[in-house]
Amino acid sequence: MASRNSPYARCYYLRGGGDCAAAAAIQARLLEYGLCSYFTWDPRPPRWRFFYESDLSRQQIESALGTLRERFTVEVTE
């Protein structure tokens, strides 16, 4: 469930490898479908993570990421 003031129905954590540019590339791919927030470094691999609110399912998010998902070892969790 998304936050109280959010227009979106679902929320996820996305985690992956790489530097800030990798996280920015993932966020750029998803911005048209939802809201990215709370970017931070994860103390365990994968290295970065952020919170994502959207109406997309996990499978749709993974599909939207395309080859970036494998390149940056992206994990999507609810």
Domains of the chain, earliest start first: 10-67 (3.30.70)
For 17-21, 22-26, 39-43, 50-54, which range has the lowest pLDDT when averaged over its residues?
39-43
Closest by CA to 76, choosing from 34, 13, 24, 32, is 13
Residue 3's pLDDT is what?
Answer: 58
Residue 2's pLDDT is what?
Answer: 56
DSSP H helices, the chain, are 20-30, 58-65, 68-71
In DSSP terms, 52 is beta-bridged to 12, 36
CB 11 within 8 A of CB 30: no
Q: At what angle do helices 20-30 and 58-65 cross, to 10 degrees?
A: 120
- Interval 24-34: pLDDT, tens: 999 999 999 99
